[in-house]
């Protein structure tokens, strides 16, 4: 089963943020091959940006931020391009950022669920909160 994840979920794979247990259950299922996590190319820049913010705030060290990004990148999330015009149309239609629209557009084009931990984004789309993630049946 394929699904789309955004940076708010992937960062929780490495850091103890709220709902990190649920996010790590999805990560474990991805690593075990029970699900296939996918994302648009902007994922890694957004994850790096979040880790940078944590490092600058002193929540984690700079070395830990770099190490976390390297480890997360090794999880082999499937990166899939999305047509830029489609992303822009989605952003304008839903009133979300272009970055958020990239995840939404990808999930729509693949016909799969999109998981996020971004509360504001949930108000603009039919994305699922990470707490709604359930292991696929028969797994």
Q: What average pLDDT does the chain have?
A: 95
In terms of Cα–Cα distance, which of 17, 43, 45, 19 is closest to 107?
43
Which domains are seen in the chain, by residue range? 2-132 (3.40.50.1010)
Distances (CA, A) of 8 to 61, 107, 117: 19, 16, 5
Backbone angle region of 63, left / alpha / beta, with phi > 0 → left and psi within -120 to 50 → alpha: alpha
Residue 135: pLDDT band (50, 70, 90) is confident
Mean of the pLDDT values across residues 90-101?
96
| Percent of the chain surpassing pLDDT 90 | 91
For residue 38, the Cα-to-chain-centroid distance in whole angstroms is 8
Query: What pLDDT, on a 0 to 100 scale, did the predictor assign at position 137?
Result: 75
Average pLDDT over residues 42-52: 98
Model pLDDT, residue 91 = 97
* pLDDT of 139 strictly over 60: no
Residue 138 banded pLDDT, cuts 50, 70, 90? low
């Amino acid at each position: 089963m394929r699904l789309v994840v955004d940076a708010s979920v992937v960062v929780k794979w490495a850091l103890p943020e709220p709902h990190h247990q649920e996010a790590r259950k999805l990560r474990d299922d991805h690593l075990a091959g029970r699900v296939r996590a996918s994302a648009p190319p902007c994922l890694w820049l957004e994850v790096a940006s979040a880790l940078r913010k944590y490092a600058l705030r002193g929540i984690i060290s700079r070395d830990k931020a770099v190490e976390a990004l390297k480890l997360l990148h090794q999880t082999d999330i499937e990166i899939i391009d999305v047509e830029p015009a489609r992303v822009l149309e989605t952003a304008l239609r839903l009133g979300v950022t272009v970055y958020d629209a990239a995840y939404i557009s990808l999930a729509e084009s693949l016909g799969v669920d999109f998981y996020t931990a971004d509360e504001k984004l949930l108000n603009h789309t039919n994305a699922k909160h990470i707490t709604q993630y359930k292991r696929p049946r028969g797994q």
